[in-house]
Structure 1
Amino acid sequence: MNATAVLPVVAVCLMAVASVGVAVWPASGFARGYVDRLEQASEEDAGRSDAATGGAGGSGADETAGEDGRAEAGGADGRSAQAAGAEAEPIGAGGMTDVTAVRVRSRGLLERRPQGVLAAILCAVTLAWGLGHGAVGYTALALPVVALLGVAGSVDAVCHRLPNRLLGTAALWLLAVMAIRALGNMALIAPSAAEPWTVGRAVLCAFGAGAAVFAMWLIPASGMGLGDVKLCALLGLWLGYIAVDWVVAGLLLGFILAGLVAIGLLVTRRAGRKDTLAFGPYLAAGGWLAWLLAVA
């Protein structure tokens, strides 16, 4: 058996094991701490709002009630106008801002065991599919991204936030590997002119995908968050390394999945029209499905 054909496969398999390990230990540990900090900040913010409300609920509230027969914000309703506005905002997927809107659900999803199972499934399917179609290089590039997207999507499902550190780590991995491959190709005796253009195309796709979703974020009714913008830019970088068409396909698949789930929740009355939906898991799933189709 040819060693030059076996060694890359062994290296990719080790990459899959390492990716699962990253998801189970440092990534999931960070995710739990991230949610704890968000919840703590939310409680502290709620306490400050209550204190401000109690201080303003004296003569000012009485005077307002004397004018129109009811107390305005800061009076009998028990919350400040600022807190009420934060609760009314759609919960996006951004960073550590708007903590008053945070509502943690299904925290156990971020524990090591469920994250290990999720990462193992994602990486195993990615590994088997990529090697089965001879895409060794693309598979090695994708495995850490898939593992980190699994953790990031879980955080979004738990608290409607997409941590910058997880998305940024995946982006740095992609850029580092792309740059190393481009430099290695340029150092060859007969370098290919396609490699630098491939990296440039990936970066342009990242900016394009991020800009498109940022335009949607500017529309209040879209329900998108800045975290979704960053996630789409990451997907543009990842899929743009293969082809522009797969960036479009990944984003479309993500929105289609989110739309189908939203319709299902409405039909079964498990959610109302004013409830928000975490886009992150569906965008990540759409990008992953587009990658599977691309390497096929």
Structure 2
Amino acid sequence: MPVDLDLVLPGAAAVWGAVVGLLVPRGAYRFSVEPEEHWRDRCPDGHLIGGWIGTARCRAGGGHVYGPSGALVATVTAVVCLLLAAATGTRPELGVWLLLAPVGVLLAVVDHKVQRLPDVLTLPLAAAALALLGVSALLPEHAGDWLTSLYGALALGGGYFVLFLINPNGMGFGDVKLALGLGAVLGWYGWPVVVLGTFAGFLFGGLYGLVLVVARGAGRKTAMPFGPFLISGAFVGLLIGAYAA
């Protein structure tokens, strides 16, 4: 009996997302430091942390759990991967989305925690997105364009750089570097998707800021992480672009 891959893929992608999501918390904890501080190499109890990938559990401390919730991160990553697979189907770029999704989740967690987007994550994300999409462009049945990915990365990165120059207090330079990778991903499905994903990110950020104003009396100078909203907006744009392609 033939297997319908379009039905199997979302479930398999969800399993992939859950497994790799469980490996995110340790890196998220180690990266969640202020810009002038070194990456964390010890758990809250002072025990040495081995490696960057894995659960945030200290074996030397009797299994003490630290960092973000592994179950929550795994669930979010699983849902993200499931939706990407459902929208993309069997096209080769799905492999790119599934490889990059955990990095996006990691960046969102770190920025939410300490309002920082580490260069060691954002710049390789952009390079990996362009390289992997370049490979996808050589495979049959792909539904995107690599040159538009490149131009999208340059356009979105350049646009965010201008915003950074205009208002450095409102736009961090980490957001500019993150925009390179997001522009590459969104550009794969064309300029309308770049615009849609960018608008969605600003919309989500604006709505969150409004909630802060209403609930906590926040003002214009209240600092808030923008990376999670840029990533969420790009995710929405990517879903729509993949589904419509």
TM (norm. structure 1) is 0.63
**2:72 matched residue in structure 1:** 114
- Cα offset for 1:38? 5.3
* 1:246 and 2:193 are equivalent in the alignment: yes
Greater Rg by CA: 1
Q: Match for 1:156 among 106, 111, 120?
A: 111
Asked if the contact 1:251/1:287 (under 8 Å) is kept, the reply is yes
Look up the SS of the partner of 1:273 in the other structure. coil
Asked if the contact 1:167/1:231 (under 8 Å) is kept, the reply is yes
The amino acid across from 1:31 in the alignment is A
**1:30 matched residue in structure 2:** 27
Please list every run of 5 or more consecutive structure 1 residues that lacks an aligned counterpart in the other structure.
43-107, 186-191
Q: Match for 1:128 among 73, 86, 107?
A: 86
Distance 1:206 1:40, change over 3 A: closer
**1:292 matched residue in structure 2:** 239
1:165-199 deviation line (CA, Å, top 9, x unaligned): 333443344233222233456xxxxxx9x99x921
Give the whole-Å Cα distance in 2 for the aligned partners of 1:13 and 1:169. Answer: 28
* 1:176 and 2:131 are equivalent in the alignment: yes
Q: Match for 1:205 among 149, 152, 171?
A: 152
- Cα offset for 1:145? 2.2
1:257-288 deviation line (CA, Å, top 9, x unaligned): 11111112112235233211111011111011
- Note the aligned Cα RMSD (angstroms): 3.0
Give the whole-Å Cα distance in 2 for the aligned partners of 1:171 and 1:291. Answer: 15
Where does 1:188-227 land on structure 2 (aligned, <5 Å)? 198-220=145-167, 223-227=170-174
Asked if the contact 1:152/1:162 (under 8 Å) is kept, the reply is yes
Asked if the contact 2:153/2:181 (under 8 Å) is kept, the reply is yes
Worse-superposed segment, 159-168 or 232-241 = 159-168
Where does 1:29-178 land on structure 2 (aligned, <5 Å)? 29-36=26-33, 40-41=37-38, 110-131=68-89, 136-178=91-133
**2:15 matched residue in structure 1:** 17
Q: Match for 1:273 among 202, 214, 220?
A: 220
1:204-228 deviation line (CA, Å, top 9, x unaligned): 1101100000000112365111111
Asked if the contact 1:23/1:148 (under 8 Å) is kept, the reply is no
TM (norm. structure 2) is 0.75
Give the whole-Å Cα distance in 2 for the aligned partners of 1:278 and 1:153. Answer: 9
Give the whole-Å Cα distance in 2 for the aligned partners of 1:166 and 1:12. Answer: 26
Distance 1:265 1:128, change over 3 A: same
Distance 1:122 1:113, change over 3 A: same
Aligned length: 217
Distance 1:39 1:208, change over 3 A: closer
Distance 1:16 1:169, change over 3 A: farther
Asked if the contact 1:255/1:283 (under 8 Å) is kept, the reply is yes
Give the whole-Å Cα distance in 2 for the aligned partners of 1:16 and 1:172. Answer: 25
Please list every run of 5 or more consecutive structure 2 residues that lacks an aligned counterpart in the other structure.
40-65
**1:233 matched residue in structure 2:** 180
1:73-94 deviation line (CA, Å, top 9, x unaligned): xxxxxxxxxxxxxxxxxxxxxx
Query: Which structure is higher in helix share?
Result: 1
